[in-house]
Amino acid sequence: MLIADTPQKLQQIVNALNEAGKKDGMTMNTSKTKVMKIGRANGGQPLKIEIDGVRLQQVEQYKYLGTIVTAEGKDDFEIKARIAMTRKAFNNLERVLRDRRQLSLRLKTPNCYVWTVVRQVCI
């Protein structure tokens, strides 16, 4: 992730990274590299950041280190994603939770697997 306070500075950083990579025989993948303008007042001109004459796609959200980052800085998407992950974890454990012979395991399972996912939202 590269961060700059103006589009011009971001273009300079991208150019420097691209040139440093070229010295070691690497190229930046322009189809996987995206740009995003973050802020509450997100209107205005779209970003025009280029790598070797190819303009980078501007996105409104992306997943970085497991967390969804949005252009508005809101966390609605992240909360919904965590709830979906919790629901999936709970549904995967349905067979264990319905087993009447393993009461102690049934009581420990939600604390170990489901609530750990939910708690990450509160951090």
Structure confidence by residue, pLDDT tens digits, 95-114: 777 777 777 777 776 677 66
CA distance 28 to 50: 11
Percent of the chain surpassing pLDDT 90: 31
Do 56 and 35 contact (CB within 8 A), yes or no? yes
Q: What are phi and psi of 119, to 5 degrees?
A: -60, -30
Structure confidence by residue, pLDDT tens digits, 44-68: 788 899 999 999 999 988 887 777 7
State residue 46's pLDDT score: 86
Do 109 and 96 contact (CB within 8 A), yes or no? yes
pTM of the model: 0.60
State residue 35's pLDDT score: 92
CA distance 30 to 24: 18
